[in-house]
Amino acid sequence: MAISWYPGHMHKANKEMAAIIKKIDVVVEVLDARMPHASSNPLLKEMRQGKPCLRILNKADLADPAITRQWLAWFNREPLTMATTSSKDNRIGAKDVVFLAGKLIRKANAGKQIDKPASSGNADLDALRAWKQENKKQHIMIVGIPNVGKSTIMNQILGKKIARTGNEPAVTKGQQRVRLNDNWYLVDTPGVLWPRLEDQDAAYRLALSGAIRNTAIEFTDVALFSAQLLLEQFPHQLQQRYDLPSLPATGEGFLQQLAQARGCLRKDGDIDWNKVSELLIHDYRAGRFGPMTLERPPLQD
């Protein structure tokens, strides 16, 4: 079954983001460190139009640190962007975000021809204007796919729980603007996808991560896709987690074996596909196979 999830609230949220982006100084794009490619929103690139962007590879605790470093190097090649990580035990805080966002704004301004306003002839007024320019309110908008950890990061930056968080997509329903201090404002936004998930392999990875509402996916399809992927790329981790003597060649064979081993069976002894699918997907989401990154950056020269 092709995966697609673009409910009305996302369309609305995308329109609302596009409407305020002109007033935003730095866009903070939160990505899933386990799948930085699949979790990159192509609409955002269009919307951003070269505005400074800080990318946060979040849930880095669930990703392979060596591959995360490669991704950071890959993203840092892009002009007017910076990339960093955040994780459960080492969350990015206000100091880091303000420091990096400030750096990006200075870089962006250095590339601009800023005409100094003509002197008003009144020294006090000129000083007030200069002060206002220096103390301009800066706006940061936090964006990203559903359930990637935007609100968690916003709360961490603010040092208190202002935004509701939860382990399911579409927890945040509308924009929320909060003052961090005299100079900085933060805007939390609802998680958004885009109308057509053209790369269906990437869509399945998103479904595995928990970015797509459970009612919009077939658990068994996602589990079959995931079992095949894990068999090909992480056979040792699979075998270790489930203590299996050997691994079958196909995703279906693997799920059958897992169902037998874990008693995911119906009363009549048939395999309970839903139950075994949930088991595999939940284990991945909880990081029970150990840190695991499903995508690598393109090869660099």
Residues in contact with ligand GTP by CB under 6 A are: 58-59, 61-62, 86-88, 144, 146-152, 165-167, 169-172, 190-191
Cα–Cα nearest to 62, from 83, 31, 93: 31
Residue 192 sits at the vertex; the CA angle it makes with 191 and 197, to the nearest 5 degrees, is 140
Closest distance to Mg ion from the beta carbon of 177 (Å): 14
Closest distance to Mg ion from the beta carbon of 13 (Å): 11
Closest distance to Mg ion from the beta carbon of 147 (Å): 8
Chain centre distance of CA 227:
23
Q: Which is nearer to ligand GTP, 172 or 226 (CB)?
A: 172
By the rule CB under 5 A, 147 interacts with Mg ion: no
By the rule CB under 5 A, 58 interacts with Mg ion: no
Count how many residues are written for the chain. Answer: 301
Q: Which is nearer to ligand GTP, 23 or 88 (CB)?
A: 88
Task: Select from Mg ion, ligand GTP, none the partner in contact with residue 205, using the beta carbon and a kind-dependent cut-off of 5 to 8 Å.
Answer: none
Task: Please state, in angstroms and rounded to a whole number, the distance separating the CA atoms of residues 178 and 189.
Answer: 11
Helical ranges in the chain per DSSP H: 8-20, 42-48, 65-75, 94-110, 123-134, 150-158, 200-209, 219-233, 235-242, 251-262, 273-285
Stretch that binds Mg ion, among 80-88, 142-150, 193-201, 285-293 (CB under 5 A): 142-150
Stretch that binds Mg ion, among 94-102, 106-114, 168-176, 278-286 (CB under 5 A): 168-176
Closest distance to ligand GTP from the beta carbon of 168 (Å): 7
140 by DSSP, 3-state: which? strand
Q: Which is nearer to ligand GTP, 41 or 81 (CB)?
A: 41
Q: In this structure, how many other beta carbons lie within 10 angstroms of the beta carbon of residue 245?
A: 7
Task: Please state, in angstroms and rounded to a whole number, the distance separating the CA atoms of residues 30 and 143.
Answer: 6
Which residue type does 97 have? V
Question: Based on the number of CB atoms within 10 Å of its own CB, is 22 exposed (0-12), middle (13-18) or buried (19 or more)?
Answer: exposed
Q: Which residue is nearest to ligand GTP (CB)?
A: 191
Task: Select from Mg ion, ligand GTP, none the partner in contact with residue 236, using the beta carbon and a kind-dependent cut-off of 5 to 8 Å.
Answer: none
Position among 86, 172, 209, 293 found at the interface with Mg ion (CB under 5 A): 172
Phi-psi region of 149 (alpha: psi -120 to 50; beta: other; left: phi over 0): left
Q: Which is nearer to ligand GTP, 170 or 281 (CB)?
A: 170
Q: Which two tokens stand for residue 30?
A: 């939160």
Closest distance to ligand GTP from the beta carbon of 206 (Å): 12
Task: Select from Mg ion, ligand GTP, none the partner in contact with residue 214, using the beta carbon and a kind-dependent cut-off of 5 to 8 Å.
Answer: none
Contact 97, 28 (CB under 8 A): yes
Q: Which is nearer to ligand GTP, 151 or 226 (CB)?
A: 151
Which residue type does 184 have? W
Q: Which is nearer to ligand GTP, 150 or 205 (CB)?
A: 150
Closest distance to ligand GTP from the beta carbon of 173 (Å): 8
Task: Please state, in angstroms and rounded to a whole number, the distance separating the CA atoms of residues 239 and 220.
Answer: 20
Site residues (vs Mg ion, CB under 5 A)? 150-151, 171-172
